[in-house]
Amino acid sequence: MEMSTLSEQLNSAASFFITGIKVDFTNYDTIVDLIDNAIKQEEKFIINYVNAYSIVVLNKDDDFRTSLKASNLIHSDGVGIWLALKILHKWKSPVRFNWTDCSFNFLRTCEEKEWKIFFLGSTEKVLKKAKGNLRKKFPHLKLMGSLNGYERLNDKSLVETINRLNVDILYVGLGTPKQEIWIYNNAPNLNCKVIQSVGDLFNLFAEKKIRGPKLFQKIGLEWFFRLLRHPVKYFNRYTIGIPRFFIILIKEFLNKKSGK
C-alpha cells in the first residue's frame, strides 16, 4: 500500500477557523501518524497548538499570528477551544484534546520507534530533573540532549548543535508566543523532521507541574485548579485572559451571524 503524503493526510482532516487561524480537528493517533509519516519521508513538519490564551495573544501580536500560520498543523488545546467549536461552529459534541494528556504515551512511542528527540526550553534545573525522571521511565528513549530557554536562543551555534545531533523531533517549550516565533524564525535552518511547540511540558516531566484532580480535568476546570494554587502566576492568563477570550468569541459569533 502506497504511503499517503503529508499534504493528503492534512487535507483529509476536518478543520475550523477562529480569528482567522485554521485549526485542525485532530486527535492523538492522527498526530502520531503524521509525525511517523514526516520522519519516514524526511519532510519538515511543524506542529503548534492554540488555546484560549493563544487567541487572546493573537489579537495583539502580529508576529505570533504570522508564526502560527506557517505551521503544518495547529491542534486545539484545552476547554476554551472546545467551547469555541460549540459556539462558533455549532458542533454538538467535539472531542476535547490537549497534548499534555498524551505526552508520556508519545515518549513511549518515541522509545519504541527509536526516534531521536531534543528538548529546548525551561531552566537547566528543570531539564536535569526532567531527563532524570524520563531515563527511569523510558530507559531506551533516545533523548539526544537539551538546552535551557534562556541562553543562546539567537545564537546560530544552537541550530548547528541540534543539526549535528541529527534529531528526528525537536520539542520547543518556551511558552506562547516565544516558542512559536522561535520556531518560525529557525525552522528553515533546522534539519530535524518534526518541530513541535510544547509549552510547559518539561515542568510536567520534572514533576514541577502538578496536574489537577481527575474530576477537574474531566469537567474542563483544570485551569481553575492551577489558578487556585498559583493565583499571582496565573492572574493575567486566567483572571484577565478568560474574559478577554469570551469577548473575542462573542465578536466572532456576531460577525459570523452577520456574514462578515
pLDDT digit string (tens) for 41-64? Answer: 999 999 999 999 999 999 899 999
Is residue 185, in this structure, part of any structural domain at all?
yes
Is residue 1, in this structure, part of any structural domain at all?
no
Is residue 19, in this structure, part of any structural domain at all?
yes
Q: Does pLDDT of 30 surpass 70?
A: yes
Entry pTM? 0.90
Domain range for 129: 6-258
Cβ-Cβ contacts under 8 Å for 139 (sequence gap 6 or more)? none
Long-range contacts of 229-236 (CB under 8 A, 24+ apart): none
Query: To 5 degrees, how large is the angle CA 185–CA 186–CA 188?
Result: 100
**pLDDT at position 94:** 59
Residue 189: phi and psi, rounded to 5, are -100, 0
Higher pLDDT, 3 or 100: 100
Residues 180-207, mean pLDDT to the nearest whole number:
96
Is residue 77, in this structure, part of any structural domain at all?
yes
Share of the chain above pLDDT 70, in %: 91
Higher pLDDT, 101 or 91: 101
Is residue 59, in this structure, part of any structural domain at all?
yes
- DSSP H or E run through 213: none
Q: Does pLDDT of 2 surpass 50?
A: no
- How many structural domains compose the chain? 1
Residue 81: phi and psi, rounded to 5, are -70, -35
Higher pLDDT, 195 or 150: 195
Cβ-Cβ contacts under 8 Å for 130 (sequence gap 6 or more)? 119, 122, 146, 202, 203, 205, 206
Higher pLDDT, 229 or 34: 34
pLDDT digit string (tens) for 215-246? Answer: 778 777 788 888 888 888 888 888 898 899 98
